[in-house]
Structure 1
Amino acid sequence: MAPKVDQGTIIILDVGRNVLSPEDKKGSAPAGENNSFFLKAKECAARIIERKIMTQANNFVGITLLGSKKTNNKMAEEVEGAFRHIDVLFPLQTPTWQMIRDLPEEPSLKSRGDWFDALIVAADQFKDEMERANILNKKIILMTNFQSPAKINDDQVEMVVNGFKEENFEVDVIGLDLTDESHKGDDIDLARHFVEVTKGATAAFDYAMRYLLFHKKKATSSAWHWNVELSIGPNIKIPISAFIRTKDEPVVKPWKKAIRDPVTSTSSTTEGVMRNKVLINTENYSTVDAVDIVKGYHYGERIIPLSEFDKSMLYEPGEKSLSVYGFTHADNIRWQNLNGNGLQYIFGRISDKKAQYTIRCLVESLHELNLVGLVRRVFNNGNAPKMFALMPVIDPKEDFLCLSMVGICFKEDIKNMAFPQTKFKKFACSDEQVNAFKDLIQAMDLTSAYDDTFDDTEAFPIAETVSPTIQYVLDCIAYRAMNPGKPLPEPRDDIMMLFRTPPLIEERSRDPINKLKQLLQLKKVEEKQKRRTKAQGRNDSTMLDQSGNQDQTNGDQSNGDLDMPKVQLPVLNNKGPVRIGTIDPIDDFQTLANNGKTLSDLAADMTDAIESLIYCNLDGNYSKAFDAMAFFRHECVKVDPSAYNTWLLRFRNALISRNNIDVITNINEKKLCLILKEENPTSIYDAENSHEDSQLYENDTVPDDTELSIKPEINDFYAEMI
């Protein structure tokens, strides 16, 4: 079975001697190369091919040169002496960038062609192509100025016209607007007859290029839909189809990748770069098999593993479903609660008349009661459930009814922000100011932004305004395909126009803006840069600026306007650290000790800081941790050795479980082991009342069952430490 092709297009480009001279617009156009018919036709043909490529549609494109120096077509081989100077440059095929590159640079200086014969050659190409592909729409685009007369036979004309009509050909003429009565002649009348019979189109280059100004999306014959049953309670199930109305899509969808050969500058889609993924153990830099890997989640400094058994215990959302949880008043659903990830329309299943009638009743009921439905959607098996709002959509003019489905944010996704009140009598606007604002709003009405010289008076119409970002990205792709070694261009003026205010809007809003400037006298506030430092011998709330003047931070003595709305911000506390941190634990310890904190109060924070410096270390440099450990040991020797000894025994067991042998070795080398009696025999403990058999203070032994989990090589480190 022959494959289906959505559309086949053959572009007949006139390159004869007749298109060499500049185009004459009522005798007023200046002569020049930029005004030639050939250059405009070439640019238009290149734009058509470019659009075919960028849309990635299932289309075929062919190029035929009319008035070429050589003759290359099948009809000329069959009929001797006929169909001369017609060159089939590219037969019907998938459009490529090479088609644009191979367009002729200049027209022929001597030869001319017959545009009527070119139409017959194009129709013959479709006849041959239909044997290997089923082309649904057949279009022929003719670009000529009709200054080279065609050899017309009345009998032959009627036969060709009837054949085009029977084969459902569409003939479009671009270059001359055949609807303009100023264009006269037998060739013009015949071309106009072709366009009318085949229901084609005709336009001048300026109008056609405006149509081709921006890239369009790929046209689809049928929209994708999601079939499911809408469940309301345990007994009501309505077969529905959900269609995507709007959706956030990437600028460029996945393209077919190709590798470029640097020698021949050709691309290949069958070759690629071989990539191999290897898992490496960062401790010993050995390769790990994928079967030995357990995936996990990174939370802060810890990695939580998640095994296959744990996955089986996870929450299962169930099968594909769309269940109504309940109904609420429409005022309860605000735009702040919607996630904006797209909009879908819900209709009754196309093949089910009862479902369509049921959805219609549901839409009318929700509209009359001013209600909104809340539904839980599971797209398919394994997908997380999401909540949506079902809202009625009614267009009485078109007799259009459906349900719109838009996502609702969960509680964790909603950000509640409190703003100060602005309803103050001092800042209330007068009636004259309010009316001035109304005049400005009316002057900036985008529905009447242009005068009668434009086709549409509305600026930036909904569902018609294109995205500047997408257009520029697609322009860059097309430019890079044609110019591989050149830098990307700046956005063209057509794209930059989307950012500019329409001239008529700017003109109408000039007077209302000037009136508002007169009614609202604004004063520029210059803020002085102040360097605040604590004043010696004064309260913390008193500051000094650069000039040495006191700056009172008390609200009662502030120079600001008391009627202005204020936002309460947290007051900066400059009294020093609250607890010992990991940035400078020694300085924090000394500062808190000077503020009256005892060793027993600071011991827990100090040990936590030391453990954090060791456990969270990534480069293997423990100098800050060992300095803090030595300082803490020295303080404990003077006051209470038991605080250090108790913590060190517990910390040593934790290091053993983590297999941090290098840390234990450094503790031994730096002599940061347990505190012995002879280091401070006059401490708070009485040497005579202490244990005689032990050379340590309290907690100088390890539990008996600890030896069961300690490797033999670890005991050697203990022997040296004790």
Structure 2
Amino acid sequence: MVIFSVIEFVVILEQEKLVLLLDVGPSMHGVLSEVEKLCSMLVEKKLIFSKYDELGVVVFGTEESKNDLTTEVGGYQNISVLQDIKVVDGDLVDTLQKLPRGRVDGDWQNAIQAACFSAYCCIVGSLTSVVLDAIVVGMDMLIKKYKDLHKGKKRLCLITNAIHPIKDSFEGSKEDQVMTIAEQMAAQGMKIESIVVRGRLSRDANKGVMDENDHLLSIFSKKTRTRIVYVDTPTSLLGALKTRRVTPVTVFRGHLELSPQMKIKVWVYKKTQEEKFPTLKKYSEKAAASNKLATHQVKVSYEYKSVDGSSTSVIPPEQRIKGYRYGPQVVPISTAEWDAVKFKPEKGIKVLGFTDASKIKRHCYMKDVYLFIAEPGNTRATLAVSAIARAMKEMNAVAILRCVWRQGQQNVVVGVLTPNISQNYKIPDSFYFNVLPFAEDVREYQFPSFNSFPASWQPNDQQQKAADELVQMLDLAPSGKEALLPEFTPNPVLE
């Protein structure tokens, strides 16, 4: 007999600290409606998936100046804090759906400085009840006490077209000033993600100014190890800001064995992964309404008792054994017996051989794509991977691998290793790995030709033309440039 018991529990989640830096100057008015949709969607998703995250909103390019730096030290004009950093709620959605339309060209550099100051002080100030009156003393005290607090969880997102020149620095060059700010951000564990809206907005802009701004933004990208995204359509803008962050995790760390005498240390990551719909969970209303940390989740536990009723005590796990039905009987099989007959391949990756790339058909690729890189910091492994990858590329060859990702894995994966030659001298060469099917996984279905059907079933010229035009309309790259790039096209259900 199985008895269910329901227990409610509370989980405290790690929270992200995010500040949105939005350019609302005249040159951005044409896309502000899309920016409003994008930011509102971000908050709505956080309310569902990460309701304890904190978010603030800073706009620049406004006539008025409303920020702490203007009050305390002067300067930093045309920057307004629409919303101080707080836990996401419905009011934030309303705020982001009604962004002001500024009349001054935005200086994104000043906005970043104000946001960096606001982000750090608001985060630690909310935890220590320290007001922002004594800026210098307060920051010094908070840095000493909370120097490691929320590192890696503080993020800024800049949305601008970056087509206007920034102001010259009073001390040093613009690059020196940006470098100083970037180093301070890195020291505080902050990251900045830049979304640059160009396209039709930048047709009449000064190319020299845009190149300079792109160079300065790249300094932030390099120092804080984040990305710069350039978008030119409203659809790509909606897909540029990710509502969820997925941290890559290695599926294998070990040797790529070419022979018993030649092994290369590699790390393997998943390059792609199938996105699945969120699962429904049990919900409990037993938590007090005043408990803001309650997740209302339900945990189910099982108790096993004797079916003949001879004992009312719970049978402990060590006295239980799994039984499997075989006809009218139940055959007990212990864990030890299962372990004795299980297939236990040894963890590792071995090269079975090489073949011409033309012999491996693209439609045979199965499941997810994996990325093979040399062990970070291992120069010899990096050189070995690069040498093999470039030799395979030159010979148009691929490798067939036998992979067992972890110890105790019950299945063996066989796949094809394809060289990936880097075009960036700072990024080493690598490999892509695709799983191949076994013979029993391949289904060769034979279909009769349409020519074997009666004439009355055959399409006429008009129908054939309509079908051809329909297929042509499905082409996402009629001019050679893909219209809906996967990395910039949001999934309407999952994003």
The 5-angstrom pairing of residues 68-217 of structure 1 reads 74-75=68-69, 78=72, 86=80, 89-91=83-85, 96-98=88-90, 100-101=92-93, 103=95, 121-126=114-119, 128=121, 131=143, 132=146, 134=151, 163=177, 166-168=180-182, 179=202, 181=204, 198-199=216-217, 207=233, 210-213=236-239, 216=242
Deviations 1:266-294 (A, max 9, x none): 75346654543222445549564133321
Residues 306 and 43 (structure 1), Cα distance of their counterparts in 2 relative to 1, 3 Å cut = same
Letter in 2 for 1:103: T
Instruction: Using the TM superposition, give the Cα deviation of residue 205 of structure 1 relative to its aligned residue in structure 2, in angstroms.
Output: 11
Partner of 1:9: 19
Which of 428, 433, 446 matches 1:405? 433
Q: Which amino acid aligns with 2:482?
A: E
Residue aligning to 1:46: 40
- Which secondary structure does the structure 2 equivalent of 1:305 belong to? strand
Cα distance change on mapping 1:460 and 1:64 into 2, 3 Å: closer
Question: Contact between 2:422 and 2:430, CA under 8 Å: does it hold in 1?
Answer: no
1:385 aligns with 2:411: yes
Deviations 1:203-233 (A, max 9, x none): 9999456411577475678773622223355
- 2:338 is paired with a residue of what secondary structure? helix
Shift of 1:317: 1.7
**Equivalences for 1:463-612 in 2 at 5 Å?**
464=487, 466=489, 471-474=491-494
Report the counterpart of residue 576 of structure 1 in structure 2.
none
Residue of structure 2 in register with 1:224 after alignment: 250
Q: Residues 154 and 221 from structure 1, CA distance in 2 versus in 1: closer, same or farther, beyond 3 angstroms?
A: same
Indicate whether 1:279 and 2:304 are aligned: yes
Residues 440 and 85 of structure 1: is their aligned pair in 2 closer, same or farther, counting only changes over 3 Å? closer
Check the 8 A contact 1:258/1:268 in 2, yes or no. no
Number of the residue aligned with 1:250: 276
Separation of aligned partners in 2, 1:36 and 1:374:
52
Letter in structure 2 aligned against 1:472:
P
What CA deviation, in whole Å up to 9, does each residue of 1:87-130 have, x standing for no partner?
A: 56223x6x63446245277689xx99998897764353146368
Amino acid at match of 1:385: N
Cα deviation for residue 421 of structure 1 reads 7.3
Q: Deviations over 1:309-345 (max 9, x none)?
A: 3134223525422234566787886678x57122324
AA partner of residue 276 (structure 1): S
Measured in 2, the distance between the counterparts of 1:290 and 1:208 equals 60
Q: Assess, with a 3 A threshold, how the Cα gap between structure 1 residues 382 and 211 changes in structure 2: closer, same or farther.
A: same
Structure 2 match to 1:525: none
Rg larger in structure: 1
Note the alpha carbon deviations across 1:455-481, whole angstroms, 9 max, x for none. Answer: x643556x55858xxx23336xxxxxx
Structure with the higher fraction of residues in strand conformation: 2
Q: 1:422 to 1:166 in 2, by over 3 A?
A: closer
Aligned to 2:224: none
Q: What is the Cα-based RMSD across aligned positions, in Å? A: 6.5
The alignment of Structure 1 onto Structure 2 pairs a total of residues equal to 420
Aligned amino acid, residue 217 of structure 2: K
Contact 1:363 1:392 in 2 (8 A): no
Identity percentage of aligned residues: 14
**SS of match in other structure, 2:494:** helix
Gaps of at least 5 residues in structure 2 are 1-13, 124-138, 186-191, 219-226, 455-460
TM-score, normalised on structure 1?
Answer: 0.42
TM-score by length of 2: 0.56
Residue 303 of structure 1: how far off its partner (Å): 3.7
Gaps of 5+ in 1: 26-34, 147-152, 184-190, 428-432, 476-722
Name the amino acid aligned to 2:21.
I
TM-fit CA distance, 1:251: 4.0
Select 1:444's aligned residue among 458, 467, 472: 472
2:332 aligned with 1:305? yes
CA offsets 1:344-376 (integer angstroms, 9 cap, x no match): 24455451426743774487479859675352x
Structure 1 residue 307: Cα displacement:
1.0
State whether residues 86 and 113 of structure 1, in contact with CA within 8 Å, keep that contact through their aligned partners in structure 2. Answer: no
Q: Aligned partners of 2:359 and 2:33: how far apart in 1?
A: 60
What secondary structure does 1:473 align onto? coil
Distance of 2:316 and 2:446 partners within structure 1: 52
Q: Verify the 8 A CA contact 1:51 1:216 in the aligned structure 2.
A: no
Between 305-314 and 36-45, report the one with greater CA deviation: 36-45
Flag the 1:363–1:384 CA change in 2: closer, same or farther, 3 A.
farther
Change (3 A) 1:172 1:227: closer
Does the 8 A contact of 1:329 with 1:371 survive in 2?
A: yes
In structure 1, the partner of 2:56 is 62
- CA 1:448 to 1:11, structure 2 compared with 1: closer, same or farther past 3 Å? closer
What is the identity, as a one-letter code, of the residue corresponding to 2:303? V
2:61/2:105 contact within 8 Å kept: yes
Instruction: Note the C-alpha offset of 1:241.
Output: 3.2
Report the residue type matching 1:240 in the other structure: V
1:386 Cα deviation from its structure 2 partner: 0.6
Provide the secondary structure at the position in 2 that maps to 1:444.
Answer: helix
1:472 aligns to what SS in structure 2? coil
